Amino acid sequence: MSVSPDIPRMKRDLADLVALCTENPPGRETEAASYVAARLSEAGLDAVIDEYEPGRANVEARLSNGPGPTLVFNTHMDVVPAGEGWSSDPFVLREADGRLYGRGTCDCKGPLAAMLEAVRMLAAERSAWSGTLLAVFVGDEEVGSKGARHFAAKRPPIDFAVVGEPTSNTVYSCHKGSLRPIVRVHGVPAHSGTPHLGENAILRAGELLGLIAREHEQSVRRRTHPLVGEASLTVTRISGGHADNVLPGACEMLLDRRLVPGENEAEVKAEIAAFLARAQSELGVRAEIIGFKPTTGGATETASDRPIVRQSVAAAAANGIASPGPFGFQGACDLVHFRDAGAEGIVIGPGAALYGAQGRRIRPRRRIRRCELDLPRHRTPDAVGMTGWCSCCAGLR
C-alpha cells in the first residue's frame, strides 16, 4: 500500500482510549464506543453503536468496496480493573524508555488503536482492494464476552476475522476455552462438640479434591492439541462454613476446566456432571453443579493450512517477526464467536503476550513498544482477506 501509518495520530488515539475508563466489571464501554464510532465515521465508514445492555455497547462499522470477501477487524474496548501498584495514573498514557504505559495499552487498546489506523489506510486506498471491511469493537471480553456473543448471534455474513490481542505480532490460529462450574458439596450441620451427629461438608469437599486431581491426571490432561497443549481440570476457589462452632452443611468450590480445540462445551458439562455422580457412588460425596460463572467461551481453531493462516504467517515473517507462528493461545478470546458465525480467523496484535495473557490479571502495568505500533506497508497480492496492521498488511480481493 502507498499510504503510510500516522504514528503520532495512533499514539493520540491510544492516549484518548486509555483515558476512557472501561474497567470490567462494570464495563461502561458506551463512552469509548462513541469515541471509536466517531473515528470510524471520519474515515468514511458507516458506523453504529449497538447498546446491547444499559451502559454496555459494541461498535459496528462497514465499508463496502465492490465484490469480494468480507473481513472483520475485531478487538475489545473493556479492560481489567487497574488495581494497585501503579507508579503513575493508569488512565493517563505515559511514555518512558521507548514504551507506552497505561491501563489497556497492551490489552486491548493498543491493538484497537492499530486497527483504527489500518481502517483509515484501507479507506484511503480503496483501489488496492475489493470486498467489504467490517470493524467490530466489542464490550465484555474480559468477563463473559457478551459483546461478541451478541454480535455473532445475528449470524452476520463474514468470511475472515482478525482478532486483536497482544501476541507480540505473532500469529495465533487457535485458543483454549473455559468452563467454570460452581459445585456445592452437601453435608449435615451439627454442633462442633458433637461432630458425629453431622456430616462435615468441608471434609467431604476435601475428598472431592482428591478425585478432581485424579480426574485431571488420568483423563482430562490426556486430551491434547498440538498448538495449545493439554486440557485441564482444577479448583480455583473454595468456601464453606458460617460459624466457628458449627459443622458446615455446605461447601462450594469453583472448578476451572480448560478445553482444547475439538472439545464440545455441552459434552464437557455432561462429563463434569457424570464425574460428580461417580464421586457419590464411590465415596458417598454428595455434590451438584449449581451454576456456571461467565467465561469468554469455548475453544476453537482455524486449521494451519487455511489461506488466512498461511498468509498471515507469511506477512508477519516478511515484516521482521522471527518466529511468526502459528501458535495457540493458552487463554481464551473472542475468536471462537467469529468462528461460530462462520468466519475463518486468526489472533494477532502488538504488545507482549506475557502481559496480555499470562499476566493480564496480575500485572498492574500494560506496555506496548513504540515499534509495535508501526503498520508495515507490506502487501500480499494473493491474500484472501487480511488487511494491513501491525505485522500483517495484505489485500482484500
Residues involved in catalysis? 78, 141
Cell matching residue 9 = 495520530
**Four-residue CA torsion sign, 330, 332, 335, 339:** positive
Runs of H (alpha helix) within 125-255 = 146-152, 201-218
Give the list of residues 6+ apart from residue 194 with CB closer than 8 angstroms, or none: none
Give the list of residues 6+ apart from residue 189 with CB closer than 8 angstroms, or none: 198, 246, 247, 248, 249
Q: Which residues of 167-205 are buried (b: 16+ CB within 10 A; e: fewer)?
A: bbbbbbbbbbbbbebebbbbbebbeeeeeeebbbbbbbb
352: nearest Cα among 72, 99, 77, 118: 99
- How far apart, in whole angstroms, are the C-alpha atoms of residue 227 and residue 217? 20
113: nearest Cα among 121, 105, 101: 105
41, 216, 277, 358, 359 from 287: Cα distances, Å = 53, 18, 8, 31, 33
Cell matching residue 177 = 476455552
Cell matching residue 353 = 503476550
In Å, how far from its chain's centre is CA 108? Answer: 9
122, 294, 296, 337 from 30: Cα distances, Å = 26, 21, 20, 21
| Cα Rg of the chain (Å, integer) | 23
| Phi and psi, residue 47, nearest 5° | -115, 135
Spatial contact of 199 and 247, defined as CB atoms under 8 Å apart:
yes
Cell numbers 482478525 label which residue? 162
Helix (H, G, I), strand (E, B) or coil at 369: strand
Beta bridge partners of 344: 160
